[in-house]
């Protein structure tokens, strides 16, 4: 794969993944078969993880997004991550470094605060987690919706 094709095509797909290979070829100045091969290679090499729609979350019943910071449990880390990965409320999990020794961030979506409180209670009980900190974002007051479409090549 030509390295110069990766960023151009990838950034065009980030802006709008529904565009046809023919349209992308016109915009990028490559042939349609080259775009098709390059797109397939981007997918095979995991540059593109998935194509998805980002809905208006409030219209499908979610009231809050929660950013929860915690510590991995002393033992059973694999079970901890498996439990979180299997929970449909969880949209993102990552290790990291934060205040108070927190080393995991969990982003979740909830229908209401009760749903969030139950989620926190469950992960604390199941994993013997004592300390969590959260930032609760009401989805009705979003200043800028989540999107990668404005992402620019750095």
Q: Which domains does the chain have, with CATH numbers?
A: 5-44 (1.10.10), 57-139 (3.30.70.920)
Q: Residue 124: its pLDDT value, please? A: 85
Q: For residues 15 and 17, what is the distance between their CA atoms, to the nearest angstrom?
A: 7
Q: What is the mean pLDDT, run by run of 10 residues, along the chain of 154 residues?
A: 72 91 95 94 93 92 96 83 92 92 94 96 82 93 86 62
Residue with tokens 């209401």: 112
| Closest to 84 measured CA to CA, from 96, 99, 73 | 73
């Amino acid at each position: 794969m030509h390295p110069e094709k990766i960023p151009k095509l990838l950034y065009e797909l980030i802006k709008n993944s529904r565009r046809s290979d023919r349209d992308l070829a016109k915009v990028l100045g490559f042939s349609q078969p080259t775009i098709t091969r390059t797109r397939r290679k981007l997918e095979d090499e995991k540059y593109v993880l998935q194509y998805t729609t980002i809905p208006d979350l409030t219209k499908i019943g979610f009231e809050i997004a929660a950013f929860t910071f915690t510590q991995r449990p002393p033992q059973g880390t694999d079970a901890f991550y498996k439990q979180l990965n299997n929970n449909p409320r969880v949209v993102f999990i990552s290790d990291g470094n934060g205040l108070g020794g927190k080393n995991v961030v969990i982003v979740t979506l909830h229908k209401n605060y009760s749903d969030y409180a139950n989620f926190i209670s469950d992960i604390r009980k199941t994993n013997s987690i004592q300390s969590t900190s959260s930032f609760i974002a009401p989805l009705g007051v979003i200043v800028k919706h989540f999107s990668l479409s404005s992402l620019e090549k750095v």
